[in-house]
Structure 1
Amino acid sequence: MAGKRYYWLKLQVSFFQELIIKQLRTLPEGDSIVLLYLKLLLKAINTEGIIYYQNILPSLHEEIALDTGEKPALVKLTISALCQYHAAVFLDDQSLQLLYLEDMVGSESASAARVRNHRANQKLLKEKEQAALQCNATVTEGNTTEISSSTEIENSKKEEKKPKKEGEPEIEEIPSYFADTVLNSMFLSYLEYRKENGKEVKGKAIGYCIDKLESLSNSPVEQVAIIKQTIQNGWTDFFPVKEKKEKEKKSGSNVSSWLEREKIQSTGGVFGD
């Protein structure tokens, strides 16, 4: 059993530039004649270029008109022109042979068509897979960049929220109560000392402590000594430095003794009533 074959019409790129086509188009209804010529070529592909007269109607052109849906007059004019320009010829049985069709037909067996279609499908599938891989690679790269950026942002947020270790406060976070850095550090130690002993100083109470300290001395050195004295003695309030008080007391005693001696000398050692 012969295998099935497929046929197709092959038109040259220069089809509409050929002299016969140009000449056909110069005729009345020339474009319609060329279109009908193409229909006849397609109709004759499977019959080796012959359009058989079936003796159903009085003439071949009437049968072609019925088959193609064209007007009989147009079909008659087309056949006449094709025969005149040696593109067609009538056979003895009044059938029409299209002379140029042999060079315009392509064919292949059904098996060859299946192989060709299979190869075409495989090629198309491969192209789709490659396109999908490229697309996925682009998306993956975009996701990697996005994930990387998100990770960096997340890490940045974690760094911002990360609690400071004890003993590592940032400089801008240290409260500043005094311009003198040594005095300020000592005062902060005093506040921490009060907090550790359950007598934390807050708000307005801090202002009171500062006022009390400044009322005792305007010297940063002496103020540091006052704070040290308070912490060392376990006090909560500020008091004058002990050494200073003793010196003032001793100095006052010396002044009194000197005044007493001066008084005795001026009276000759005799005190009146």
Structure 2
Amino acid sequence: MARRKQEGNRFFRLDVDFFSDKKVKILKARYGADGVTLYLYILCEIYKAGYYLKIDEDFEFIVSDDLSMDSNKVKQVLNFLLERSLFDNTLFQSDKVLTSAGIQRRYQAMVKARALKNPITVEGFWLLSEEETETFIKVNPSLNNSENNPDNSRKNEDNSEKNDTKGKEKKGEYIYTAPPGTYFEDSSLNDAFLLFLKVRQNNGDSLTKEQVQLLREELLSMSDKPEELTAIVKKSAMNGWKSFYPLKKARTRKTEAKGSKNRFNNFPQREYDFEEYEKQLLKKSQEGQKIVNE
């Protein structure tokens, strides 16, 4: 009986400088060990299948159960991995596929030993250019429907800008007239952020996609509470500001009382020991009476 053709991989290479990677450091700083664990979990699932993983709406719940992790956190970490290009965001948005050029380069190195004897034909979602693709990897143009295929990447990019982002070009910059998608999971925060971008546009400000992303990251660094972030964005939009500023915490009565005792009409008042003051007055009165009697 012929041996069954091996599908996927049994192991994958993990570089010793994995934790030195800046993106991994930020991932760990923002989401702790859970973030790194989820990233490695997805890599295992990808290499177990081959060089990409196609997911569905149940993926987050399955991962949540496997890792005993909150499903909302799974979604947040996955969004971060896509935003930081640890996975190809364009391909994910178009086909719900998780992969990247780096993953596919490592995949080529992993299968080289067996592929030199029996070349592998990739079935789709191949991101590497012809120059980067090894000779033992055969890309079938009719099967490869990757949005980033070098042969049609420019066409897809142009269509994406026209149909998905609803933007327009002005003076060589990309302007968001009606930003697509969801920038934040919280609907109130997302609506406020879109309003802020609209106000910036109406004020004649040009925003590139990179600038919008930086604004989003700046906002997220100010708080982890959606309601507080929403208030920050609304205040910036109302005042026509170009950036975001933390909310000033209102001073409580208790704080004012502690910081400034005995204030009248907002002016500091003197502190008196009335018992001691009465003794001094009595003493002066007795001294005065003694002088009179003499």
TM-score (norm 1): 0.34
Structure 2 length-normalised TM: 0.32
Rg comparison, structure with higher value: 1
Larger relative contact order (Cα-Cα within 8 Å, sequence gap ≥ 6): 1
Higher fraction of helix? 1
